[in-house]
Structure 1
Amino acid sequence: MGYLKYTQYVYIVFGLYFAYDGFTKLNKQDDTAALSFIIAGMAIFMFFFRRRFVKKFEDRNKKK
């Protein structure tokens, strides 16, 4: 389960990408900029959620 430590960073990369995409669409006056910001927010939320989950998982394994 060592890969769980690294998969959380995929979410932050996607969050940054969609935030950049949202800003570029906002500058072009595109109507889909809000969708990019929503996806970016969800990806950043998932980053913190996964980070907390991995920490709980590691703490539980240390007790055993």
Structure 2
Amino acid sequence: MNYLKYTQYVYLIFGAFFIYDGFTKLNDPTGTPWLSFMVAGLAIFMFFFRRKFAKKAEERNKKS
């Protein structure tokens, strides 16, 4: 269960990738950059959500 501490950082990697993808699609007239930016925003939100949930679980385990 120790790997769950590190899986939250995968969301940051996906967020960075989709931000990069969005900026590259801004110059392409047929691209849809806003979808990439929305997915990046969701990935960054999930990072903070998972981090908060992991801290709560860790505090709960320390009390037991």
TM-score tier, shorter chain, comes to over 0.9
Question: Within 1, Cα distance between the matches of 2:24 and 2:40?
Answer: 13
- Sequence identity of aligned pairs in percent? 69
Relative to the length of structure 2, the TM-score reads: 0.94
Aligned residues: CA RMSD: 0.9
Unpaired runs of at least 5, structure 1: none
1:30 offset after TM fit, Å? 3.5
Q: How many residues align?
A: 64
Question: Within 1, Cα distance between the matches of 2:14 and 2:30?
Answer: 20
Unpaired runs of at least 5, structure 2: none
Q: 2:19 corresponds to which residue?
A: 19
Q: 2:48 corresponds to which residue?
A: 48
The runs of at least 4 aligned residues of structure 1 exceeding 2 Å deviation read: none
Relative to the length of structure 1, the TM-score reads: 0.94
Question: Within 1, Cα distance between the matches of 2:57 and 2:4?
Answer: 10
Question: Within 2, Cα distance between the matches of 1:10 and 1:53?
Answer: 15
Q: 2:59 corresponds to which residue?
A: 59
Matched position secondary structure for 1:35: helix
Residues 8-62 of structure 1 show CA distances to partners (whole Å, capped at 9, x for unaligned) of 0000000000000000001223441110000000000000000001000000000
Question: Within 2, Cα distance between the matches of 1:26 and 1:43?
Answer: 20
Aligned amino acid, residue 17 of structure 1: F
